[in-house]
Structures are given as C-alpha cells and as structure tokens.
C-alpha cells in the first residue's frame, strides 16, 4: 500500500543526498524508510558521521535541535514542526536559574530530554546510559543539579555517592510514568522465565524490579546479547517493533500497552515526503543559545 510513497521518498533521498534518522519509538513504517534508527545518542552520532547534506530527523524537538547545533554545516529538517517532549518542557529556564542561585557551587547535569535553552545553562548533558559516568567525573564534593527527570535522578542517585538534587522536584515522563509495579507483577506472573528490561524513565518502584535498565539503544543490545529467550519490556510500546525487527529470534512482551508516546508518532510517510520535497521544517537554533548548548553536549561526548 505504501510502495509508491516509499519509492518517492527513496528518489528524493538520492536526489538531495539526504538521510533519514528515526528514533526507536517512531512508527513502524517510518522506521522502515529510515537509514538509521537509534536512541537519542545514536541519532546524534549518525548526524555527526554522515556525509549527507540534508538530515531528516524523526523524533522530538530537542533531538532535531541538538543534531542541528552539532552540525552547523548540514541542513537539519523535521517532518513536523515543534514536536515537544512533555518531559523536556518540565524544567524551565527560570527554574534552572533559581536553582543555580540557590546552589551556587553546584554543577548542572541535564538529561538530553531537556530544552535547548536549559542545555545552554548546563555544565554537561547526559543520556540514561552515561549519566552515572558523567556524574562521577564532575568535580569533587560539589552537589549536582540534575533534571528534568526525577526517575532518572533516582537511578543516578542509587549508583553514585555524589549529592544529586532533582530539578524540578518531580519532573517525569508521562508515558513511562504509566507503567506500574502492578503491570510488572502481572506480566511476570504470565511469563515467569522472561527478563524484565526497563528504561530509567520508569518509576523508581518499577526500576527496582528490572533485570536491566538502560537507554533504548542499551535495551536493544541487552536483549540481543542476553542468554534469555523472552523479555518483558517496560518502555514505550514502539520499542517492541524495533526489538522484533533487530532481534527476530527472541520474544518480547510489552509490560503495558498504555505507554504510548504521541509526540514520537507524529512523523508519517506523507510528512516525510513533504519534508524532503520542500526541505522543511528547517531546525534552527538561535545563536545565543546554540554556542553554550553545543559546549554542554560536546562535553557529554568527551566524558562518555
């Protein structure tokens, strides 16, 4: 059914020397036309390594913005304008400035899922995969202001002796927040031999039940390498599609079917074709925040 539009997308990619990058949570048909799929850090790495002139990024806004600020010589476009990650908007510039004033000696470590204007005020950015390592490299006994995800802050606090202060107090991903311990126990009762794999954006109580916690890329690797045949996935439901595609010899069960990220499902084949055809919507980060945000993101790559 999609053959014609896929052919047109492939032709446009060749004509414009374009590449499509899609996050692991994107729709299956978007994943199928992507040149690279991955977690947030995987997409950034692909954006930096490609020789393409035009990068179409299917994900939420901070992903496109971070790719754009790291690649000022390439044109980065998003098929849909302003796809906001509800977690990223939970820490405002004002809250961050207030926290910095309250804790003048603190370092600021922000999750990748934060706005670009707050990244510009951070010492370093991190993903769930490198947050602990980066926290450990931050100087001495200074506390670390960490945001915006309280669940990830819990994950880091459990694994480091550093003092971690969550900003805001209870920032959370509304999608991962829907996955409950009750869901985990129910899924485990139905599949007692399966390993529990979870994203650290899940609630602390859910994290405490997991056999493995990590980024979307980390979860894919764990499932591929683990000596187990069945997995219970406590994550956004889109990850199941990627797991089934990339690890076809194993079985994956979503812990909850309600963990659905609407923002990540906004790009469609039609929107991707329009984006390639018209080279829109170009992601442009204002210069006054791009320079400092880039420094904080580059520090992440240096430290991890």
Q: How far apart are CA 157 and CA 247, in angstroms?
A: 32
User: Which residue of 12, 18, 33, 39 would you call a contact of ligand 13P, by CB under 6 A?
Assistant: 39
User: What minimum distance in Å lies between the beta carbon of 171 and ligand 13P?
Assistant: 13
User: What minimum distance in Å lies between the beta carbon of 282 and ligand SF4?
Assistant: 21
User: Which residue of 128, 152, 206, 247 would you call a contact of ligand 13P, by CB under 6 A?
Assistant: 128
Q: How far apart are CA 237 and CA 169, in angstroms?
A: 27
Does 239 contact ligand SF4 by CB under 6 A? no
Is the distance from CB of 233 to CB of 213 less than 8 angstroms?
A: no
Residues 224-243 that bind ligand 13P (CB under 6 A): 236
Closer to ligand 13P at the Cβ: 49 or 105? 49
Closer to ligand 13P at the Cβ: 235 or 273? 235
Does 202 contact ligand SF4 by CB under 6 A? no
Q: How far apart are CA 252 and CA 56, in angstroms?
A: 29
Does 201 contact ligand 13P by CB under 6 A? yes
User: What minimum distance in Å lies between the beta carbon of 87 and ligand SF4?
Assistant: 4
User: What minimum distance in Å lies between the beta carbon of 131 and ligand 13P?
Assistant: 10
Q: How far apart are CA 204 and CA 184, in angstroms?
A: 13
Q: Is 145 helix (H, G, I), strand (E, B) or coil?
A: strand
DSSP letter, residue 282 = B
- Taking each helix axis as running N to C, give the angle between helix 216-225 and helix 238-246, from 0 to 180 degrees, rounded to the nearest 10: 40
Closer to ligand SF4 at the Cβ: 52 or 87? 87
109 binds, among ligand 13P, ligand SF4, none (CB under 5 to 8 A by kind): none
User: What minimum distance in Å lies between the beta carbon of 40 and ligand SF4?
Assistant: 9
Binding range to ligand SF4, per CB under 6 A, among 10-18, 48-56, 257-265, 278-286: 257-265
Integer-rounded Cα radius of gyration of the chain: 19
Q: How far apart are CA 162 and CA 145, in angstroms?
A: 11
Other C-beta atoms lying within 10 Å of the C-beta of residue 182:
11
Is the distance from CB of 284 to CB of 75 less than 8 angstroms?
A: no
Is the distance from CB of 149 to CB of 130 less than 8 angstroms?
A: no
Does 173 contact ligand SF4 by CB under 6 A? yes
* Residues in contact with ligand 13P by the rule CB under 6 A: 24, 39-40, 112-113, 127-128, 173, 199, 201, 215-216, 236
């Amino acid at each position: 059914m999609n053959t014609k539009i896929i052919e047109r997308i492939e032709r446009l990619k060749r004509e414009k020397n374009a590449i499509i990058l899609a996050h692991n949570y994107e729709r299956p048909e978007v994943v199928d036309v992507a040149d690279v799929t991955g977690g947030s850090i995987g997409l950034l790495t692909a954006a930096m390594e490609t020789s393409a002139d035009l990068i179409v990024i299917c994900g939420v806004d901070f992903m496109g913005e971070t790719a754009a600020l790291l690649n000022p010589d390439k044109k980065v476009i998003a098929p849909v304008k302003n796809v906001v990650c509800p977690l990223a908007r939970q820490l405002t510039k004002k809250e961050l400035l207030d926290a910095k004033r309250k804790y003048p000696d603190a370092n600021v470590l922000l999750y990748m899922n934060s706005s670009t204007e707050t990244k510009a005020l951070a010492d370093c950015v991190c993903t769930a995969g490198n947050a602990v390592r980066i926290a450990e490299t931050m100087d001495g006994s200074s506390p670390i202001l960490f945001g915006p995800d309280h669940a990830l802050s819990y994950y880091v606090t459990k694994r480091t002796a550093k003092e971690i202060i969550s900003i805001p107090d209870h920032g959370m991903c509304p999608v991962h927040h829907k996955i409950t311990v009750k869901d985990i126990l129910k899924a485990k009762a139905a599949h007692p031999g399966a390993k529990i794999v979870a994203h650290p954006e899940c609630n602390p109580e859910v994290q405490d039940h997991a056999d493995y916690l990590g980024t979307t890329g980390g979860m894919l690797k764990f499932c591929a390498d683990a000596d187990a045949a069945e997995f219970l996935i406590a994550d956004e439901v889109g990850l199941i599609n990627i797991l089934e595609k990339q690890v076809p010899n194993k079985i994956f069960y979503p812990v909850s079917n309600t963990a659905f990220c609407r923002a990540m499902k906004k790009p469609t084949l039609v929107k991707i074709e329009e984006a390639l055809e018209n080279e829109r919507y170009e992601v442009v980060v204002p210069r006054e925040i791009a320079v400092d945000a880039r420094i904080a993101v580059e520090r992440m790559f240096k430290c991890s």
